[in-house]
């Protein structure tokens, strides 16, 4: 997080206000409402993307913790390779780290799905805006 602050880039914030009503037909949106929704979803895509990135950093950190703990336990165990692997797998520190990894992996997947949903809606709104622009240029 400190690295992000050092870049001077603004950290995305959640879009203001509640999520706009998603229309059954985007062609029914007046231009002002289309613009509002496009801005709202653009902000949510940026915010969700940032949250996904944070979750990925956390998940990667827990992956490393599992590897470090597993390797440490493996090297400290006695016996043949198979016995040492089993000792490492059963070690409480390795198990706990694995459980934390599972939680953060699930969080990452959930946030990725939310991001994809916002991104899909943003793209749909953008296509509608492009369609309107092209209609105006053709005079239809």
How does pLDDT run across 126-138, given as a tens digit for each residue? 999 999 999 888 8
For the chain, helix (H) and strand (E) counts, in that order, are 4, 0
Distance separating the N- and C-terminal Cα atoms of the chain: 50
Q: What is the pTM of this model?
A: 0.83
Quick one: which H or E segment has residue 110?
helix 92-138
How does pLDDT run across 103-112, given as a tens digit for each residue? 999 999 999 9
Q: What share of the chain has pLDDT > 90, as a percent?
A: 86
């Amino acid at each position: 997080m400190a690295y992000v602050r050092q870049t001077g880039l603004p950290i995305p914030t959640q879009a203001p206000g509640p999520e706009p009503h998603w229309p059954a037909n985007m062609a029914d949106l007046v231009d002002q409402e289309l613009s509002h929704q496009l801005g709202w979803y653009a902000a949510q895509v940026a915010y969700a993307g940032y949250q996904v990135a944070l979750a990925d950093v956390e998940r990667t950190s827990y992956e490393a913790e599992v590897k470090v703990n597993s390797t440490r336990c493996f090297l400290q165990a006695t016996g043949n390779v198979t016995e040492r692997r089993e000792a490492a797998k059963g070690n409480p520190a390795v198990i706990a780290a694995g459980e934390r990894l599972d939680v953060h992996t699930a969080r990452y997947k959930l946030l990725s799905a939310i991001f994809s949903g916002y991104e899909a809606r943003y793209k749909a709104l953008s296509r509608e805006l492009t369609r309107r622009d092209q209609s105006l240029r053709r005079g239809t």
